[in-house]
């Protein structure tokens, strides 16, 4: 029996796909596995993995920090706006109280003649309180970013201008900035009827101011509760309802 040794032994290496000009594919694959094994064994692979995930952690941490700062900034803006709107609502409430003290619906009607005439001291004091409350609201609401609040404040100023002559007759001057100035001596000298005509009764000057103060108070309270027109990212949020209310 004739045995071809070359043929019988070479087939053992056929799986290595040797070629004349190329390295055996099987050997290359085996070398790659050995290289991977050595990388794992000496810790290089572990170091690479740790470095990779550490970098990812740093990126996530940086993004989280930036997001937290942005959120904190938005919350600060919202808190500041809420305080401002609550302050406006408080000023509006004080003006409402001042107008109601002079109205015919007050618990004690200051203009009622009980046989000895109206109590001018109390009337004059109530008018002075009205002027102070009016000025506080005009100052706080006039620069508001809420259209309902701001427009109603502007309407109050326009109303005062329209009543300018009558107000001047009892010692109240409408200033260029919309505020009111009171001459207490002139007020004391004015007739009770002229003061009553402005501050007592339906559709009087004070009654119309009271109506605007109520709208301002409501608008400011809603703005304070709604996050003061700021989104979570700190950007402005259009206040569509306030725009509509300002037209009413």
Structure tokens at 234: 């700190």
Considering the domain boundaries, does residue 12 fall inside one? no
pLDDT at 20: 52
Query: What is the Cα gyration radius of the chain?
Result: 41
Percent residues over pLDDT 90 in the chain: 53
Per-residue pLDDT band at 246 (split at 50, 70, 90): very low
Q: Which helix (H) or strand (E) holds 121?
A: helix 120-141
> Number of structural domains, the chain?
1
Integer Cα distance of 154 and 59 in angstroms = 51
Considering the domain boundaries, does residue 62 fall inside one? yes
Neighbour count for residue 46 (Cβ, 10 Å):
11
Considering the domain boundaries, does residue 23 fall inside one? no
Q: Please tell me the pTM assigned to this model.
A: 0.65
Considering the domain boundaries, does residue 240 fall inside one? yes
Average pLDDT value over all residues in the chain = 79
Considering the domain boundaries, does residue 111 fall inside one? yes
Q: What is the dihedral of CA 123, 129, 130, 136, to 10 degrees?
A: 170
State whether residue 112 is helix, strand or coil. coil
Considering the domain boundaries, does residue 45 fall inside one? no
DSSP-assigned states of every residue in 33-99: HHHHHHHHHTTHHHHHHHHHHHHHHHHHHHHHHHHHHHHHHHHHHHHHHHHHHHHHHHHHHHHHHHH
CA distances from 233 to 58, 64, 71, 72, 237 (A): 22, 14, 6, 9, 10
Q: Which helix (H) or strand (E) holds 153?
A: helix 147-162
Per-residue pLDDT band at 78 (split at 50, 70, 90): confident
Domain that holds residue 80: 54-246
pLDDT, tens only, 89-140: 999 999 999 999 999 999 999 998 876 788 999 999 999 999 999 999 999 9
Considering the domain boundaries, does residue 108 fall inside one? yes
Considering the domain boundaries, does residue 238 fall inside one? yes
């Amino acid at each position: 029996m004739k045995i071809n040794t070359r043929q019988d032994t070479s087939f053992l290496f056929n799986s290595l796909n040797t070629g004349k000009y190329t390295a055996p594919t099987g050997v290359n694959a085996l070398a790659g596995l050995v290289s991977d094994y050595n990388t794992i064994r000496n810790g290089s692979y572990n170091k690479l993995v740790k470095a990779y995930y550490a970098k990812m952690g740093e990126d996530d941490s940086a993004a989280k920090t930036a997001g937290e700062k942005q959120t904190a900034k938005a919350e600060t803006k919202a808190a500041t706006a809420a305080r401002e709107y609550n302050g406006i609502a408080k000023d509006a409430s004080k003006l409402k109280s001042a107008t109601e003290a002079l109205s015919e619906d007050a618990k004690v009607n200051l203009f009622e003649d009980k046989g000895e005439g109206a109590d001018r001291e109390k009337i004059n004091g109530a008018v002075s309180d009205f002027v102070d409350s009016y000025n506080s609201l005009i100052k706080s609401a006039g620069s508001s970013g809420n259209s309902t609040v701001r427009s109603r404040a502007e309407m109050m100023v326009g109303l005062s201008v329209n009543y300018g002559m009558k107000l001047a007759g009892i010692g109240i001057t409408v200033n260029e900035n919309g505020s009111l100035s009171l001459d207490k001596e002139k007020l004391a000298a004015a007739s009770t009827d002229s003061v009553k005509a402005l501050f007592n009764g339906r559709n009087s000057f004070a009654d119309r101011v009271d109506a605007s103060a109520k709208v301002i108070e409501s608008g400011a309270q809603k703005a304070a509760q709604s996050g003061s027109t700021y989104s979570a990212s700190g950007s402005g949020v259009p206040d569509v309802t306030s725009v509509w209310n300002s037209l009413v």
